[in-house]
Amino acid sequence: MSDESQIRDTVQTYFECMYESSADKVHAAFHPNAKITGYLEDGLHEMSVDDFAGFVTAQQPSPKEKGDSDRIDIVSMVIAGNIAAVQVRDDYLGMTFLDSLNLLKSDDQWTIYNKLFHVES
């Protein structure tokens, strides 16, 4: 499988972790040392992978169970050796986000090492 295909699979798993409220998929998509950072209405949020997994699983019923939008679009992707930068636009919890995902390839597996998020609407 090509690097681009593997990265697309990781991005899909990333979206599914939120859409399905799945901690297992959070841990599958993210490197254990990853950071998740961005602004919501109440200010700056900084999370570890475990913090993010807890946030995601607390969304009950899951967005999928509620029938929420499952839109995720890859806006851009740049691959350079064992690193990649992917911007995605997705709908989550009634908001539209622009996420910047930095990925790292280690042991032939692509994982998200850093996520910056911005609420567009």
Total domains in the chain come to: 1
Q: Taking the CA atoms of 14, 19, 21 and 22 in sequence, report the sign of the dihedral they define.
A: negative
pLDDT of residue 1 exceeding 90:
no
pLDDT digits (tens, 9 = 90+) for 67-98: 999 999 999 999 999 999 999 999 999 999 99
For residue 63, cis peptide bond before it (omega within 30 degrees of 0): no
Query: Per-residue confidence at 121, pLDDT binned at 50, 70, 90?
Result: confident
Q: What is the mean pLDDT of residues 59-67?
A: 95
Q: Residue 16 belongs to a domain with what CATH number?
A: 3.10.450.50
State the Cα–Cα distance between residues 27 and 45, nearest whole angstrom.
19
pLDDT digits (tens, 9 = 90+) for 16-56: 999 999 999 999 999 999 999 999 989 999 999 999 999 99
Pick the closest to residue 99 from 2, 8, 11 (CA basis). 11
Residue 92 structural domain: 3-119
